[in-house]
A and B are shown apart, each in its own frame.
Chain A
Amino acid sequence: GENVEQHPSTLSVQEGDSAVIKCTYSDSASNYFPWYKQELGKRPQLIIDIRSNVGEKKDQRIAVTLNKTAKHFSLHITETQPEDSAVYFCAAIHSMDTGRRALTFGSGTRLQVQP
């Protein structure tokens, strides 16, 4: 099955700096890679996702890059703000896998943005 590794486990940056979180996956058939932001005690919120037919996607201060050959994808947050502080999870799935359609999550990165 799929295995997703995420680094770093914690990340502290100064407000205005950039933050980068990296994930690797094991199943070359995975073709959908979402990123979730989870605040304490709340549900994960989808912030951006990327499919395997593109290498990069950007939405304002957030961008995701995908390297299919190396099987890794990264989340980039620019101009960080204190409200970006949360736990971020990457995930992977083969969207057409009829046998198993659950997301496989990374272990999470606790991002703290210092004002």
Chain B
Amino acid sequence: GAVVSQHPSWVICKSGTSVKIECRSLDFQATTMFWYRQFPKQSLMLMATSNEGSKATYEQGVEKDKFLINHASLTLSTLTVTSAHPEDSSFYICSAGVLAGGNNEQFFGPGTRLTVL
């Protein structure tokens, strides 16, 4: 099946620093990538939809200037958490999919656990 990688798998940073997370589709081209955030014992909450070559679409309540998303190619999307604060500590998961016809399966990355001290 399709493989999506995410890097880093975990990161610890100081408050006020920025952290970049990469999401790559390894064996397919993803027209769309999605970024989710998952707090402990909660569901996956969509943060933004990233389309290659265009601006990301952010969900209501997600600050686009704080969570910068770049989808420069069909295999790479990045999420940068700027000026991170302890409340940004979470599990960030990306997913990628090829949306054509009736096929809408999404493939998830392994996630990145961010801890902001």
Interface residues, chain A, CB within 8 Å of chain B? 32, 34, 41-46, 49, 51, 89, 93, 95-96, 100-108, 110
Contact = CB atoms under 8 A, between A and B. Distances in A.
Interface stretch (B61-69, B73-81, B82-90, B101-109): B101-109
Contacts of A46: 105
Nearest to A9: B41
B46 A49 contact: no
B46 A102 contact: yes
B99 A101 contact: yes
B54 interface: no
B49 A105 contact: no
A101 B102 contact: no
Q: Is the interface of A mostly helix, strand, loop or mixed?
A: loop
B105 A49 contact: yes
Contacts of A49: 105
Given A102-B49, A105-B43, A108-B43, A95 B102 contact: yes
Q: Is the interface of B mostly helix, strand, loop or mixed?
A: strand
Contact of A101 (B41, B42, B104, B109): B104
Contact of A43 (B42, B49, B103, B110): B110
B25 interface: no
A64 to B, nearest CB: 15
B54 to A, nearest CB: 13
Given A43-B110, A101-B49, A102-B49, A108 B104 contact: no
A104 B45 CA distance: 8
Contacts of B49: 100-102
Given A44-B44, A108-B43, A101 B111 contact: no
Given A34-B105, A95-B104, A101 B93 contact: no
